[in-house]
């Protein structure tokens, strides 16, 4: 199976990048897009060239490391599927791929297809954690939680932090990512103690590093974890809740 690849090559954050054309003559339908890049890099190295830089780790759709634009779509043609799970057999009619890094001011290019997701890390540092008392582990039923609420919290917690939502959004918004974190922690007992201050910090970070949300909905289509658009509504809900609770309040 012959596959043609136009890949963005960029030596560094300040270097000028451009697309370079490659051909892989022995691609197989069972290959994922990352495995196709592995095959290409073997070919490039054998010819004495510089391999294409891209990120990957678990290759099971869990770590969130992989991710780039495939023919203009974050991760690839299949909706709600990470790049490592996009196999060529799923779109046999496509034999020409254009690969480039996620395009967002919040994600500067490190090299080739690899980007810097520090902006997402700063969002987590702003409010994606909880302060808990350490010591003896509490009993499992100390803070009873309704099953449906716990399941919903887990749904929001499934975000893998790949940044596809930001790349898919025409505005470069991270509302889906932030909303998933806020919704997850707001529904769990451990996250309610700092609920208002968490919302204020994360919203401030959103305003500083990312664009506004216009509800295009592309983020939810690209999200590998299938995070619902209701996460976006959570951001504004938690924002206004924190205002009504008082700007100087540090509790829930």
How confident is the model at residue 194, as a pLDDT? 87
Query: End of a domain among 90, 111, 132?
Result: 111
Q: Is 165 found in the same domain as 92?
A: no
Q: Is 125 found in the same domain as 82?
A: no
Domain contains 241: yes
Residues of the chain with pLDDT under 50: none
Domain contains 231: yes
Q: Is 203 found in the same domain as 160?
A: yes
Query: End of a domain among 83, 111, 139?
Result: 111
- At how many degrees (to 10) do helices 195-209 and 118-127 cross? 160
Confirm if 111 and 53 have CB atoms less than 8 A apart: yes
Domain contains 21: yes
Q: Is 130 found in the same domain as 194?
A: yes
SS3 content of the chain, % helix, strand, coil (to 5): 40, 10, 50
Q: Is 241 found in the same domain as 128?
A: yes
How confident is the model at residue 190, as a pLDDT? 81
| Residue that has been written with the tokens 């991760």 in this structure | 75
Domain contains 251: no
Domain count, the chain: 2
How confident is the model at residue 188, as a pLDDT? 87
* CATH number of domain containing 136: 1.10.1060
Domain contains 11: yes
Domain contains 158: yes
Q: Is 126 found in the same domain as 224?
A: yes
Helix (H) or strand (E) segment spanning residue 109: strand 109-111
Confirm if 174 and 165 have CB atoms less than 8 A apart: yes
Query: End of a domain among 111, 133, 153?
Result: 111
Range of the domain at 67: 3-111
Q: Is 61 found in the same domain as 161?
A: no
Residue pLDDT, tens place only, 190-220 = 888 889 999 999 999 999 999 999 999 999 9
Q: Is 175 found in the same domain as 239?
A: yes
pTM: 0.91
């Amino acid at each position: 199976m012959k596959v043609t690849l136009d890949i963005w090559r960029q030596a560094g954050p300040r270097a000028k990048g451009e697309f370079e054309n490659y051909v892989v003559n022995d691609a197989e339908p069972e290959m994922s897009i990352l495995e196709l890049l592995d095959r290409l890099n073997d070919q490039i190295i054998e010819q004495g060239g510089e391999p294409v830089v891209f990120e990957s780790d678990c290759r099971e759709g869990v770590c969130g490391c992989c991710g780039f634009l495939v023919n203009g779509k974050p991760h690839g043609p299949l909706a709600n599927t990470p790049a490592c799970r996009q196999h060529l057999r799923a779109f046999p009619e496509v034999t020409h791929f254009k690969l480039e890094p996620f395009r967002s001011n919040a994600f500067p290019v490190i090299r080739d297809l690899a980007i810097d997701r520090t902006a997402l890390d700063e969002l987590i540092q702003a409010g994606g954690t909880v302060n808990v008392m350490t010591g003896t582990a509490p009993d499992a039923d100390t803070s009873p939680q309704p099953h449906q609420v716990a399941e919903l919290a887990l749904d929001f917690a499934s975000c893998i932090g790949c940044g596809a939502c930001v790349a898919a959004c025409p505005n470069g918004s991270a509302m889906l990512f932030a909303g998933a974190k806020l919704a997850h922690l707001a529904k769990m007992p451990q996250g309610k103690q700092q609920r208002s201050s968490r919302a204020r910090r994360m919203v401030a970070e959103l305003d500083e590093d990312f664009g506004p949300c216009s509800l295009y909905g592309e983020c939810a289509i690209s999200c590998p974890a299938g995070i619902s658009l209701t996460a976006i509504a959570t951001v504004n809900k938690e924002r206004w809740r924190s205002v009504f609770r008082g700007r100087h309040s540090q509790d829930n």
